[in-house]
Chain A
Amino acid sequence: MTTFLGVPAPRGVGHLRGEHSFPDAARGALADSQLRRNLGHATHTIRGKRASVVGELDDWEQLRLAGSALKAATMARLDEHLERLEREVTARGGTVHWARDANEANAIVTRLVQETGETEVVKVKSMATQEIGLNEALETAGIEAHETDLAELIVQLGGDLPSHILVPAIHRNRAEIREIFLREMPGVDPELTAEPRRLAMAARAHLRERFLRAKVAISGANFAVADTGTLLVVESEGNGRMCLTLPETLITVMGIEKVVPTWQDLEVFLQLLPRSSTGERMNPYTSAWTGVTPGDGPQTFHLVLLDNGRTAALADELGRSALHCIKCSACLNVCPVYERTGGHAYGSVYPGPIGAVLSPQLTGVEDNASLPYASTLCGACFDACPVRIDIPSLLVKLRARHVDEQRARTVPSAEAIAMAAASWVMSSPARFAAAEKVSRAGRLLGRRTGGIAALPPPLSAWTASRDAPRPPAETFREWWARERGGAS
């Protein structure tokens, strides 16, 4: 059920769509043995850490319920909280901008940087700016953006795309990172080894120079407290804090769903987030800033509030719970599909289970029709989600929306015809029993014993890797009728 808002809500643009369908994109990833090894190792490590720190808390389930309830209550009055946030940020010396989509946000940020006269910026790790493709937009305007999060730096230097929400270079191992640094990092020690400490020191020397030079920083935000107009970034490395404190101008791009009403709400989310994301009790750095403080930190602060499909998702009763996501990526780390395909196969900056429900809602399901099907509905994501987003149910509902939109086609797909036929057969006991008799012909296929090794399309997708069962000589209902005389 969609709530009508008076004007059509904008669709999400930017890096939310892939060139290929999920099954096609996954095929290449599945064949990459190095990628499979890297992903398997990394997801299992984070999964184990998360399980261990979550297990320490007796009230973890209560925290999840609280997180879910707080998000639902906040979304129900999101407009009021955003206006409050705008008032408070403005009252404390910041400037608030509203961007209906990625293009508008990019134009605003580009103009703000141009007004400073600078041609380079440092960046805090941010999903919102990845979503809108800000770096490319700035590059077009002759502005160089330097990613400062270690993993984002690896991705940027490697000319690569992020493949995970929290650890965007999860698809790379140490040896590959060393090669990227040797190839792309100016002035790097040619004797660099793949030892983690040596790699971190190389990145540190590279980044420090940029921190000290930068006059403009661009960040995202994990939370915004409407009550006081305070923005928060939660991170591990401290590189974010360098960006948030050293430059003269700070521009923050934030999805409108990130607002929380009060500081009290953070008590719940700051417990849920680090344990779910990095598997830590507490993250090393939590930076909070409120407007502009004379003589301390950036003296100019801009907040860009990004819609890019969020209002459309919010208006949808089914969709809005996907906006509760706090981008912890626990669902990616436990997902058996993500573990094998990695993030690039999803085509959007939001991969994994949450990406499979969020991306189609930001863009409209017809633009990401294969993503809701990129799951076995195994339910591991729902169990791991710190704000209890019922991702399997959302996936099923998005599949239904896709099918319903396809009904408008004049020529139904082969699948739609098969499903309608199966419904007709299976809603009648007589027709079902007759169909079973016909399927008995399958006994004659292939070898005379054992399973069936080859079936025609579309069932050839089954027999490509698995034998199909040979239909039995007698169905259960036939056995029952013979043994028990059909009495029921």
Chain B
Amino acid sequence: MRIALFLTCLGDAVQPEVGRATVTLLERLGHEVVFPADQTCCGQMHVNTGYQREAVPLVRHHVETFEPYDVIVAPSGSCVGCVRHQHAMVARGAHDDRLAERADAVAARTYELSELLVDVLGVEDVGAYYPHRVTYHPTCHSLRMLRVGDKPLRLLRHVRGMTLVELPEADQCCGFGGTFALKNADTSTAMLADKMRNVLSTGAEVAAAGDASCLMHIGGGLSRLRSGTRTIHLAEILAST
């Protein structure tokens, strides 16, 4: 299958290893990965901070960039959530119904990584080997916007050499929330403290998730504490052999 990689702006600029892992994984499974080089950002930060007007050119650019592709994957639950649940809304807000229709069409072909693997490609054992003790944070938008359910866990349970430890209060938000992390930094930190306490209680050396943004937040906290536990993206575990 020919799959277009929507890496997300954060993935490109801050965590390029997530994109490389996604490419490695999908190619190992026998698929062709293309990277539409014009891609930039889905506009989620603008929409969720209230700057919908400023998000319109980003939505239009995203739609134009990805329109030619039949299957699009992003290693991010929240960016797929934005594409699927907010792009058409932003276009309608700008009274551009044609753009809204096109956005809906692109959204219908856009999948979060675990959705692509399990639902579209029908694979749960991706042949990965990762000899570490790992706990998994399911991230809010994957859980409650996309309803990916236990798809990431089904993929992880097939990883050889890995000990998967259940994360207490896994479905609780880590406190990132985009600009919430800056606007309400104290509350965000209080939520992060509880998430880190739960992560550390598992004794895991690695905390995994399917969203670079939540990982940047949780990982930034764990690093500040010199906790000895690091974060990793789901794609990196699945790419590992």
Interface residues of A (CB under 8 A from B): 22-23, 26-27, 30, 36, 336-337, 340-341, 372-380, 382-383, 396, 399-404, 415-416, 419-420, 422-423, 426-429, 432, 436, 439, 450-451, 453, 458-459, 461-462, 464-469, 471-472, 474-477, 479-481, 484, 486, 488
| Stretch of B102-110, B111-119, B219-227 on the interface side | B219-227
Q: Are B182 and A459 closer than 8 Å at their CB atoms?
A: yes
Flag whether B201 is at the interface (Cβ < 8 A): no
Q: Are B183 and A477 closer than 8 Å at their CB atoms?
A: no
Residues from chain A with a CB closer than 8 A to the CB of B229 are none
**With A423-B51, A476-B20: A465-B224 Cβ-Cβ less than 8 Å:** yes
Q: Are A419 and B144 closer than 8 Å at their CB atoms?
A: no
Given contacts A372-B50, A376-B188, A488-B36, list 7 more A-B pairs with CB under 8 A.
A340-B194, A375-B180, A403-B52, A423-B55, A465-B224, A466-B221, A476-B19
A416 nearest CB across to chain B (Å): 8
Q: Are A439 and B13 closer than 8 Å at their CB atoms?
A: yes
Bound state CA distance, A472 and B216, in angstroms? Answer: 13
Flag whether B120 is at the interface (Cβ < 8 A): no
Flag whether B14 is at the interface (Cβ < 8 A): yes
Chain B, 160-176, contact with A by CB distance < 8 Å: what is the 0/1 string?
A: 00000000000111011
Q: Are A488 and B224 closer than 8 Å at their CB atoms?
A: no
Residues from chain B with a CB closer than 8 A to the CB of A403 are 49-52
Residues from chain A with a CB closer than 8 A to the CB of B41 are 426, 432
**Nearest residue in B to A439 (C-beta to C-beta)?**
B13
Flag whether B127 is at the interface (Cβ < 8 A): no
Bound state CA distance, A476 and B221, in angstroms? Answer: 24
A-B contact count (CB 8 A): 200
Q: Are B223 and A451 closer than 8 Å at their CB atoms?
A: yes
Q: Are A378 and B54 closer than 8 Å at their CB atoms?
A: no
Bound state CA distance, A330 and B184, in angstroms? Answer: 23
| Stretch of B4-12, B151-159, B202-210, B233-241 on the interface side | B4-12
Bound state CA distance, A477 and B58, in angstroms? Answer: 18
Chain B, 30-68, contact with A by CB distance < 8 Å: what is the 0/1 string?
A: 000011111111010111111111110110110000000
Flag whether B141 is at the interface (Cβ < 8 A): yes
> When the two chains form the complex, which single residue of B39, B57, B183, B191 contacts A340, counting CB atoms closer than 8 Å?
B191
**Nearest residue in A to B10 (C-beta to C-beta)?**
A469
> When the two chains form the complex, which single residue of A337, A379, A419, A486 contacts B140, counting CB atoms closer than 8 Å?
A379
Residues from chain A with a CB closer than 8 A to the CB of B19 are 476, 479-480
**With A23-B186, A403-B50, A403-B51: A428-B37 Cβ-Cβ less than 8 Å:** no
Interface residues of B (CB under 8 A from A): 7, 9, 11-17, 19-20, 34-41, 43, 45-55, 57-58, 60-61, 86, 93, 140-141, 143-145, 171-173, 175-192, 194, 216-217, 219-221, 223-224
Q: Are A461 and B191 closer than 8 Å at their CB atoms?
A: no
**With A375-B177, A423-B55: A383-B37 Cβ-Cβ less than 8 Å:** no
> When the two chains form the complex, which single residue of B38, B60, B175, B182 contacts A461, counting CB atoms closer than 8 Å?
B182
Q: Are B186 and A30 closer than 8 Å at their CB atoms?
A: yes
Residues from chain A with a CB closer than 8 A to the CB of B224 are 451, 453, 465-467
**With A383-B144, A403-B50, A488-B37: A466-B220 Cβ-Cβ less than 8 Å:** yes
Q: Are B223 and A458 closer than 8 Å at their CB atoms?
A: no
Residues from chain B with a CB closer than 8 A to the CB of A396 are 47-48, 50, 86
> When the two chains form the complex, which single residue of A376, A377, A488 contacts B34, counting CB atoms closer than 8 Å?
A488
Q: Are A26 and B184 closer than 8 Å at their CB atoms?
A: yes
> When the two chains form the complex, which single residue of B7, B17, B173, B175 contacts A380, counting CB atoms closer than 8 Å?
B173
> When the two chains form the complex, which single residue of A27, A432, A450, A472 contacts B186, counting CB atoms closer than 8 Å?
A27
Bound state CA distance, A376 and B187, in angstroms? Answer: 10
A71 nearest CB across to chain B (Å): 22
B181 nearest CB across to chain A (Å): 6
Report the 6 A-B pairs with minimum CB-CB distance, sorted nearest first.
A376-B177, A466-B220, A399-B50, A379-B144, A403-B50, A378-B173
Bound state CA distance, A439 and B13, in angstroms? Answer: 9
Q: Are A376 and B173 closer than 8 Å at their CB atoms?
A: yes
Bound state CA distance, A453 and B61, in angstroms? Answer: 34
Bound state CA distance, A429 and B178, in angstroms? Answer: 22
Bound state CA distance, A422 and B179, in angstroms? Answer: 14
Q: Are A427 and B13 closer than 8 Å at their CB atoms?
A: no
Complex A-B: 22 CB contacts under 8 Å? A23-B183, A336-B173, A337-B184, A341-B187, A378-B173, A383-B144, A396-B50, A399-B49, A400-B50, A422-B46, A423-B46, A423-B58, A428-B61, A429-B37, A459-B182, A466-B189, A467-B220, A467-B224, A468-B220, A469-B15, A476-B12, A484-B35
Q: Are B177 and A419 closer than 8 Å at their CB atoms?
A: no
Residues from chain A with a CB closer than 8 A to the CB of B14 are 469, 471-472
Q: Are A480 and B35 closer than 8 Å at their CB atoms?
A: yes
Of listed A375, A400, A466, A479, residue having the most chain B CB within 10 A: A466
Q: Are B50 and A336 closer than 8 Å at their CB atoms?
A: no
**Nearest residue in A to B93 (C-beta to C-beta)?**
A400
**Nearest residue in B to A474 (C-beta to C-beta)?**
B16
Q: Are A378 and B177 closer than 8 Å at their CB atoms?
A: yes
Residues from chain A with a CB closer than 8 A to the CB of B11 are 476
**Nearest residue in A to B42 (C-beta to C-beta)?**
A426
Residues from chain A with a CB closer than 8 A to the CB of B50 are 372, 396, 399-404
**With A423-B55, A472-B14, A479-B20: A379-B49 Cβ-Cβ less than 8 Å:** no
Q: Are B37 and A480 closer than 8 Å at their CB atoms?
A: yes
A207 nearest CB across to chain B (Å): 37
Q: Are A428 and B173 closer than 8 Å at their CB atoms?
A: no
**Nearest residue in B to A436 (C-beta to C-beta)?**
B13
Q: Are B51 and A429 closer than 8 Å at their CB atoms?
A: no
Bound state CA distance, A351 and B223, in angstroms? Answer: 34
Residues from chain B with a CB closer than 8 A to the CB of A383 are 144
Q: Are B13 and A374 closer than 8 Å at their CB atoms?
A: no
Of listed B13, B17, B145, residue having the most chain A CB within 10 A: B13
Q: Are B145 and A379 closer than 8 Å at their CB atoms?
A: yes
> When the two chains form the complex, which single residue of B47, B49, B183, B192 contacts A465, counting CB atoms closer than 8 Å?
B192
A482 nearest CB across to chain B (Å): 11
Q: Are A429 and B39 closer than 8 Å at their CB atoms?
A: yes
B237 nearest CB across to chain A (Å): 18
**With A377-B177, A464-B185: A476-B217 Cβ-Cβ less than 8 Å:** no
B65 nearest CB across to chain A (Å): 8
Of listed B45, B180, B181, residue having the most chain A CB within 10 A: B180
> When the two chains form the complex, which single residue of A337, A377, A402, A427 contacts B57, counting CB atoms closer than 8 Å?
A427
**With A340-B187, A423-B55, A466-B192: A476-B37 Cβ-Cβ less than 8 Å:** no
Bound state CA distance, A465 and B140, in angstroms? Answer: 21
> When the two chains form the complex, which single residue of A30, A420, A461, A486 contacts B54, counting CB atoms closer than 8 Å?
A420
A381 nearest CB across to chain B (Å): 10
Residues from chain A with a CB closer than 8 A to the CB of B93 are 400
